[in-house]
């Protein structure tokens, strides 16, 4: 661990910038933007780097930004922050025109990222360091607005719906050795201000379209093919399969109907559904996905409708690096005290949601510690920041100290973590796996 004098230099440097970074995070909250549309958010990040003369590249995966601190040759650690918001129409802070709102706390990640960038760039901190730190503001972590992203894909603006997936494809992570992101948690998961460890579910996404035949709903329903009835049977069939899902696989299948028909007096001729199939491992996800596909076809068969099923690669389960977690944990304890730092046991799943940090974790040592300073439910209409210092200054200080710990002393700790890490995928294998999941099928029932 680095000595107390170095720590106090790093902590003071973070505190020097965190008030301003908090103001930027508040502005980001006011301008909440969903994935691949984060233009104003991205500009705030770029303005910050420009002001502090930190070189960066931009327009990565449409809105992504990457700055480099470039100390010397050596390991490269990426600290990440996510640019995008959610959509929660009932949230009091939801933007009136789009319902976009930062109900997952990504704006505080960006605040921490900006404070850490400047703190590590201070001359007295720079001289402790070997290697490079890449500060990467990534687009589109929330895997939402599937129709919009499909249109981006169709126009070749993106290939993958997740921002980190797209940035991996573009080579933004080619020279990154270690990845770190701190993420807020809501009331349900986090019982201490900082939690380290914990895995997450992986997932894939589906876009489904039932095509029936319109007819007068009162006078001639026998001449129509009711796409909504076909969809209802499919959803019932999916529900009937739930008893076959093992608890240990943590399967979640959660559909929404995004279009249920056109007018009330005509037999619905088009119904659209979006859904995720989540699970703890790839085999379980693919098995549940097969049952979902069968169920979707059963609905089409029952009514004589057609169903179009598009399967979209989602995220891999997060497998945090144990050694990296323990270094972060030690520094968190030193900063906050033992009683304020919790550890999720290595084999426990603390988050049955999904994140594209999972994808990175299969290719490089990766952690996503959880931080507090927030209240309410993640993705809920009551999520809010109740302590900006805990939400931004604390994770920024612990992240900065951890990065200095990894890159000081000639980068010894970073090199050890890299040496012990066994990637599950190389980049090209990973991209092929994603592409193998991508599928479109039209089934005539």
Contact positions vs Zn ion (CB under 5 A): 104
State the minimum distance, in angstroms, from the CB of residue 104 to Zn ion.
3
CB-nearer residue toward Zn ion: 87 or 227: 87
CB of 182 to Zn ion, least distance (A): 11
CB of residue 109 to Zn ion, shortest distance in Å: 8
How far apart are CB 106 and Zn ion at their closest, in Å? 6
CB of 29 to Zn ion, least distance (A): 14
Which CB sits closer to Zn ion, 86 or 118?
86
Report in angstroms how near the CB of residue 189 gets to Zn ion at its nearest. 12
Q: Which lies closer to Zn ion via its Cβ, residue 104 or residue 230?
A: 104
Residue 29 or 305 having the CB closest to Zn ion: 29
| Contacting residues for 45 by C-beta, under 8 A, at least 6 apart | 65, 81, 83, 110, 113, 114, 137
For Zn ion, the closer CB: 164 or 413: 164
CB of 183 to Zn ion, least distance (A): 6
- HEC-encoded secondary structure of the chain: CCCHHHHHHHHHHHHHHHHHHHHHHHHHHHCCCCCCCCHHHHHHHHHHHHHCCCCEEEEECCCEEEEECCCCCCCEEEEEEECCCEECCCCCCCCCCCCEECCCCHHHHHHHHHHHHHHHHCHHHHCCCCCEEEEEEECCCCCCCHHHHHHHHHCCCCCCCCHHHHHHHCCCCCCCCEEECCEECCCCCCCCCEEEEEEECEEEEEEEEEECECCECCCCHHHCECHHHHHHHHHHHHHHHHHHCCHHHCCEEEEEEEECCCCCCECCCEEEEEEEEEECCHHHHHHHHHHHHHHHHHHHHHHCCEEEEEEEECCCCCCCCHHHHHHHHHHHHHHHCHHHEEEEEEEEEEECCCCCHHHHHCCCCEECCEECCEECCCCCCCCEECCHHHHHHHHHHHHHHHHHHHHCHHHHHHHHHHHHCCCCCCHHHHHHHHHHHCEEEEEEC
Closer Cβ to Zn ion, 197 or 445, answer by number: 197
Q: Which is nearer to Zn ion, 44 or 104 (CB)?
A: 104
Tokens 């909250």, residue? 29
Q: Which is nearer to Zn ion, 104 or 237 (CB)?
A: 104
Comparing CB distances to Zn ion, the nearer of 75 and 163 is 163
CB of 395 to Zn ion, least distance (A): 14
Residue 146 CB: number of other CB atoms within 10 A?
19
In the bound state, the residue with its beta carbon closest to Zn ion is 104
Least distance in angstroms from the C-beta of 134 to Zn ion: 20
Contact by Cβ (8 Å): 381, 88: yes
């Amino acid at each position: 661990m680095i000595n107390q004098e170095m720590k106090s230099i790093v902590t003071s440097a973070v505190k020097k910038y965190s008030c301003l970074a908090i103001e930027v995070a508040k502005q980001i909250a006011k301008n909440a933007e969903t994935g691949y549309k984060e233009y104003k958010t991205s500009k705030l990040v770029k303005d910050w780097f420009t002001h502090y003369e930190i070189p960066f590249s931009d327009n990565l995966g449409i809105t992504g930004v990457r700055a480099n601190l470039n100390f010397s040759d050596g390991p490269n650690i990426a600290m990440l922050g996510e640019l995008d918001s959610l959509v929660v129409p009932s949230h009091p802070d939801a933007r009136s025109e789009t319902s976009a709102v930062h109900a997952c706390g990504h704006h505080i990640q960006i605040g921490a990222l900006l404070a850490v960038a400047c703190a590590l760039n201070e001359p007295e901190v720079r001289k402790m360091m070997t290697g490079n730190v890449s500060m990467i503001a990534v687009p589109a972590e929330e895997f939402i607005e599937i129709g919009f992203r499909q249109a981006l894909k169709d126009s070749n603006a993106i290939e993958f719906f997740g921002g980190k997936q797209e940035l991996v494809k573009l080579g933004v992570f080619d020279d990154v050795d270690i990845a770190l992101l701190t993420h807020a948690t809501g009331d349900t998961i986090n019982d201490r201000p900082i939690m380290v460890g914990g895995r997450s579910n992986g997932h894939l996404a589906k876009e489904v379209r039932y095509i029936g035949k319109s007819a007068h709903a009162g006078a001639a329903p026998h001449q129509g093919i009711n796409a909504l009835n076909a969809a209802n049977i499919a959803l019932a069939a999916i529900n009937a399969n739930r008893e076959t899902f093992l608890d240990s696989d943590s399967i979640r299948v959660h559909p929404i109907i995004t279009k249920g028909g056109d007018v009330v007096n005509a037999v619905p001729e088009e119904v659209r559904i979006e859904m995720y199939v989540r699970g703890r491992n790839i085999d379980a996800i693919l098995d549940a996905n097969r049952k979902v596909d069968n169920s979707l076809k059963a609905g089409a068969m029952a009514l004589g409708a057609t169903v179009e099923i598009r399967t979209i690669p989602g995220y891999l389960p997060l497998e945090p690096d144990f050694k990296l977690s323990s270094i972060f944990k030690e520094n968190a304890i030193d900063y906050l005290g033992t009683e304020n730092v919790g550890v999720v046991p290595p084999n426990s799943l603390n988050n049955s949601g999904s994140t594209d940090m999972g994808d990175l974790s299969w290719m490089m040592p990766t952690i996503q510690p959880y931080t507090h300073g927030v209240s309410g439910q993640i993705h809920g209409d009551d999520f809010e920041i109740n302590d900006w210092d805990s939400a931004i200054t604390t994770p920024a200080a612990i992240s900065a100290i951890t990065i200095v710990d990894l890159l000081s002393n000639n980068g010894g700790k970073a090199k050890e973590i890299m040496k012990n890490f066994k990637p599950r995928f190389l980049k090209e294998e990973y991209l092929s796996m994603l592409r193998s999941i991508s599928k479109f099928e039209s089934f005539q029932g």
